[in-house]
C-alpha cells in the first residue's frame, strides 16, 4: 500500500515538471529500498526523488522534497545539544551587544517560543520581526537552564512563502499558552500605552475568558477598535509575571461582521490568578492609602476567599463602599511578592445593592511557641498624623512627619512564633497583648511613667509573660508573616494527650 502511495507522489511530482517515470520500475525500486533493505519509507522516498531529480537536472525537486520530509521540530520539543530544523515567526529582535552576534531575538511557533542567536560568522540573511522563516540545521544549547538556538555558518535560513506558513487553529482564550496562537474575540477595552514602543494595549475576550493584548509600534501596525470582534491570526502569546498576554502583529487582525455581546466569565476569588478576571465580591475592608497615586485600596472577597484590590487615581474611578456587593468585569490580577492583587482601574464595577455574600474569613489560627521577642515590642508611640500611625523612634521622630510630641501610645508584640515546622514573623496587636498579659494600655502607661526603666519595663514585663510559652493566635497570615489580633495561652487538652498515647502505641508490636 505504502509503496503505491510513494510511487504516486513521486510520479505526480515529476509529471508536473514534464518528466515521465516508468511506474513499474519506480515501484520495484521503492520495494527494494523498503522491503529488502528495511529503509524507512520516508527515507526511501527522499533518496529516489533525489535520484530522479538529478537525472532530470531539476533542483527545484530538492526544495519540493525537503518540504515533504522537512523533519520540522516543534519549538516546545527542542532539547539542548540537538540539531534542529524549525519553522517560526520572529517575535522580537534584541539590539546586538557584541560584534560576533549578527542578530538575536525570540522566535515562536504554535508550540512555544525560544531565544535565538545568529553568529556574525554565519553570514545568514537578516531576519525581520513578524516574518516567518525556516531555519535548518541550527543547534540548540543550554545556558543557565535556558535553551536557545544558535545559527551558525552551516545553518540555512529561508523565508517562508505565504502558502507554506503553518496553519494555527483558533484556540479558546482561556487555553492560550505561550507561542503563536490564533484567537477570535471581542475587544473589550483599549488604552493608550505609556511608551512609544506600543501603539495600543487592551483586553480581548471570548466566551471562555479574557486576555490582555498589545499592538507593537511596527510598520503597518494598526490599533484595534473597541467593541469589535476580531479574528487574530498568528498572535504571539507570552507570559510575564505569571500572566499570559498576546501581541498582535501588523496585518494579522481581521475585523468580523459579528456583533454578539460576550458574557464575562465570573470566577471564584480563590481561582483568580495573574491575568484578566471577572469577579463577584463584597468589599470587606478599606486600607489607608500609602501613596498619592492610589485612589483606593483594600480587601474584597467571596465565599471562596479574599484578595487585595487597588485602584489608581484616574478619571472616572468607582469608589467601592464597604459591605457592598459588586460585579467586577475584566479587572487585571497581578502578582507581587507571591501575593495577588486586583487592579480595578479600567474595570467595570457594578454595585448590586440587594445581594449579600458570606465572605470566607481571611483569619487563620496558628499555634506555636513564642521563641523570640524583638525590639519594637511593648508600649510604643505612634505618629498622630491622620492615616499615618507609624511607630516613632525614641526621640518621637516619624520617618515621614518628623518630630511628633503629641504621639499616641499603643501596645504590641513583635517576634517569632514557632510551630516546630514553620516560624512566623509575628505582630500581635493591642487586643492580643492585653489578653495575654492582663495589661491595659492605661496600666502600661502608668507603669512606664512610674518606673525608672520607662518603656523598657513594659518590654521586660511582657517578655516574662510570653517568651517560651505556647500561644494560640488568630489573624492574617501572609507568607511567613503573621498579624495576630486575638491571642491566648494554649491550654492543656487531655483528649489530645489520649490521642497521642494511642498513636504512640500504634505500631510498637510490628
Q: Among the candidate windows 75-83, 131-139, 175-183, 330-338, which touches other proteins by CB under 8 A?
A: 330-338
The residue among 130 and 415 lying less far from other proteins, judged by its C-beta, is: 415
Count of residues that interact with other proteins, criterion CB under 8 A: 39
Per CB under 8 A, which region of 63-71, 171-179, 349-357, 461-469 contacts other proteins? Answer: 461-469
**Minimum distance, C-beta of residue 21 to other proteins, in the bound complex (Å):** 59
Q: Long-range pairs for 49-54 at CB < 8 Å and ≥24 separation?
A: 49/10, 49/13, 52/10, 52/14, 52/19, 52/21
Among 98, 239, 467, 488, binds other proteins (CB under 8 A): 467
Angle subtended at Cα 17 by Cα 11 and Cα 23, rounded to the nearest 5 degrees = 20
For the chain, the first-to-last Cα distance in angstroms comes to 65
* Residue 421 binding other proteins, by CB under 8 A: yes
Look at residues 92, 174, 75 and name the one whose alpha carbon lies nearest to residue 127.
Answer: 92
Smallest gap from Cβ 500 to other proteins, in A, equals 5
* Distance (Å, whole) CA 387 – CA 148: 51
Lookup: cell for 234: 498568528
Query: Near other proteins by CB under 8 A, which window of 92-100, 301-309, 434-442, 490-498?
Result: 490-498
Query: With binding defined as CB under 8 A, does residue 469 bind other proteins?
Result: yes
Within positions 42 to 71, which residues make up the interface with other proteins, using CB under 8 A? Answer: none
Judged by CB, which is closer to other proteins: 35, or 479?
Answer: 479
Binding map of other proteins across residues 264-303, x = CB under 8 A, - = no contact:
----------------------------------------
Q: For the window 202-241, what string marks contact with other proteins as x by the rule CB under 8 A?
A: ---------------------------------------x
Q: How far is CA 313 from CA 147, 192, 292, 295, 475, in A?
A: 42, 16, 8, 5, 31
Interaction between residue 453 and other proteins (CB under 8 A)? no
Instruction: Please give the Cα distance from 328 to 151 (Å, whole number).
Output: 48
- For 30, the grid coordinates are 521503492
Q: How far is the CB of 419 from other proteins (least distance, A)?
A: 7
Q: Which is nearer to other proteins, 138 or 332 (CB)?
A: 332
Regarding 456 and contact with other proteins (CB under 8 A), the answer is no
Q: Is 449 in the site for other proteins (CB under 8 A)?
A: no
Beta strand pairing call for 378-382 and 364-373: unpaired
Q: Is 18 in the site for other proteins (CB under 8 A)?
A: no
495 scored as a contact of other proteins (CB under 8 A): no
- DSSP for 249-274 reads PTT-EEE-S--------B--GGG--S
**Residue 403 touches other proteins, criterion: CB under 8 A:** no
Neighbours of 331 (CB within 10 A): 23
Distance CA 75, CA 206 (A): 27
Give the residue, chosen from 422, 431, 437, 486, that forms a contact with other proteins under the rule CB under 8 A. 422
Q: How far is the CB of 424 from other proteins (least distance, A)?
A: 9
Per CB under 8 A, does 16 bind other proteins? no
Burial of 315 (0-12, 13-18, 19+ CB in 10 A): exposed
127 vs 373, beta carbon nearer other proteins = 373
How many secondary structure helices (H) and strands (E) does the chain include? 8, 26
Q: List the x/- string, 85-114, binding to other proteins by CB under 8 A.
A: ------------------------------
d(CA 460, CA 90): 66
Non-local (6+) Cβ contacts of 472 within 8 A are: 365, 366, 367, 487, 488, 489, 490
Options 16-24, 253-261, 311-319, 411-419: segment touching other proteins (CB under 8 A)? 411-419
- CB count within 10 Å of CB 380 equals 19
- Residue 369 as a binder of other proteins (CB under 8 A): the answer is yes
Taking CB under 8 A as the rule, does residue 420 contact other proteins? yes
From the list 195, 337, 406, 450, which residue makes contact with other proteins (rule: CB under 8 A)?
337
Which residues, in sequence order, are CB contacts of 123 under 8 Å at separation 6+?
A: 153
325 three-state secondary structure: strand
Asked if 379 and 412 count as a contact pair (C-beta separation under 8 A), the reply is no
Residues that bind other proteins (CB under 8 A): 241, 335-338, 369, 371-372, 416, 418-423, 425, 464, 467-470, 479-481, 490-492, 494, 496-497, 500-501, 503-508, 510
Amino acid at each position: 500500500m505504502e509503496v503505491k502511495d510513494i510511487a504516486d507522489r513521486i510520479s505526480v511530482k515529476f509529471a508536473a515538471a514534464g518528466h515521465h517515470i516508468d511506474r513499474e520500475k519506480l515501484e520495484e525500486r521503492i520495494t527494494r529500498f523498503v522491503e529488502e533493505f528495511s529503509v524507512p519509507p520516508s527515507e526511501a522516498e527522499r533518496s529516489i526523488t533525489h535520484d530522479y531529480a538529478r537525472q532530470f537536472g531539476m533542483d527545484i525537486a530538492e526544495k519540493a522534497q525537503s518540504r515533504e520530509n522537512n523533519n520540522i521540530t516543534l519549538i516546545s520539543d527542542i532539547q539542548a545539544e540537538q540539531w534542529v530544523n524549525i519553522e517560526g515567526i520572529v517575535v522580537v529582535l534584541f539590539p546586538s551587544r557584541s560584534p560576533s552576534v549578527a542578530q538575536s531575538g525570540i522566535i515562536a511557533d504554535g508550540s512555544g517560543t525560544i531565544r535565538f542567536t545568529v553568529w556574525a560568522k554565519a553570514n545568514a540573511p537578516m531576519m525581520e520581526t513578524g516574518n516567518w522563516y525556516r531555519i535548518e540545521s541550527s543547534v540548540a544549547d543550554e545556558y543557565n537552564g535556558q535553551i536557545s538556538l544558535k545559527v551558525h555558518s552551516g545553518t540555512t535560513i529561508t523565508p517562508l512563502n505565504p502558502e507554506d506558513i503553518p496553519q494555527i487553529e483558533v484556540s479558546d482564550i482561556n487555553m492560550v499558552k505561550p507561542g503563536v496562537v490564533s484567537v477570535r474575540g471581542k475587544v473589550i477595552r483599549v488604552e493608550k500605552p505609556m511608551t512609544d514602543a506600543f501603539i495600543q494595549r487592551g483586553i480581548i475576550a471570548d466566551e471562555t475568558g479574557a486576555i490582555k493584548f498589545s499592538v507593537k509600534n511596527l510598520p503597518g501596525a494598526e490599533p484595534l477598535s473597541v467593541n469589535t470582534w476580531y479574528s487574530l491570526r498568528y498572535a504571539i502569546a507570552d507570559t510575564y509575571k505569571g500572566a499570559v498576554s498576546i501581541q498582535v502583529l501588523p496585518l494579522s487582525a481581521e475585523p468580523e461582521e459579528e456583533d454578539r455581546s460576550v458574557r464575562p466569565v465570573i470566577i471564584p476569588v480563590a481561582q483568580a490568578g495573574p491575568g484578566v478576571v471577572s469577579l463577584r465580591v463584597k468589599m470587606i475592608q478599606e486600607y489607608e492609602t500609602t501613596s498619592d497615586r492610589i485612589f483606593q485600596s483594600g480587601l474584597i472577597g467571596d465565599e471562596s476567599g479574599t484578595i487585595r484590590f487597588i485602584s489608581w487615581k484616574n478619571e472616572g474611578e468607582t469608589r467601592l463602599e464597604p459591605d457592598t456587593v459588586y460585579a467586577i468585569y475584566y479587572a487585571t490580577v497581578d502578582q507581587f511578592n507571591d501575593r495577588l492583587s486586583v487592579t480595578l482601574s479600567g474595570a467595570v464595577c457594578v454595585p448590586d445593592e440587594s445581594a449579600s455574600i458570606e465572605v470566607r474569613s481571611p483569619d487563620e489560627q496558628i499555634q506555636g511557641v513564642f521563641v523570640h521577642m524583638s525590639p519594637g515590642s511593648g508600649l510604643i508611640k505612634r505618629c498622630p498624623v491622620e492615616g499615618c500611625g507609624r511607630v516613632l523612634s525614641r526621640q518621637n521622630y516619624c520617618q515621614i512627619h518628623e518630630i511628633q510630641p503629641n504621639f499616641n501610645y499603643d501596645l504590641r508584640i513583635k517576634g517569632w512564633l514557632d510551630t516546630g515546622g514553620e516560624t512566623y514573623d509575628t505582630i500581635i496587636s493591642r487586643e492580643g497583648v492585653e489578653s495575654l498579659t492582663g495589661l491595659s494600655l492605661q496600666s502600661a502607661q502608668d507603669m512606664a511613667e512610674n518606673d525608672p526603666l520607662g518603656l523598657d519595663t513594659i518590654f521586660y514585663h511582657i517578655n516574662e509573660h510570653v517568651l517560651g510559652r505556647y500561644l494560640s493566635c488568630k489573624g492574617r497570615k501572609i507568607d511567613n508573616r503573621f498579624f495576630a489580633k486575638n491571642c491566648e495561652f494554649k491550654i492543656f487538652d487531655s483528649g489530645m494527650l489520649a490521642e497521642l498515647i494511642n498513636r504512640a502505641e500504634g505500631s510498637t508490636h510490628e
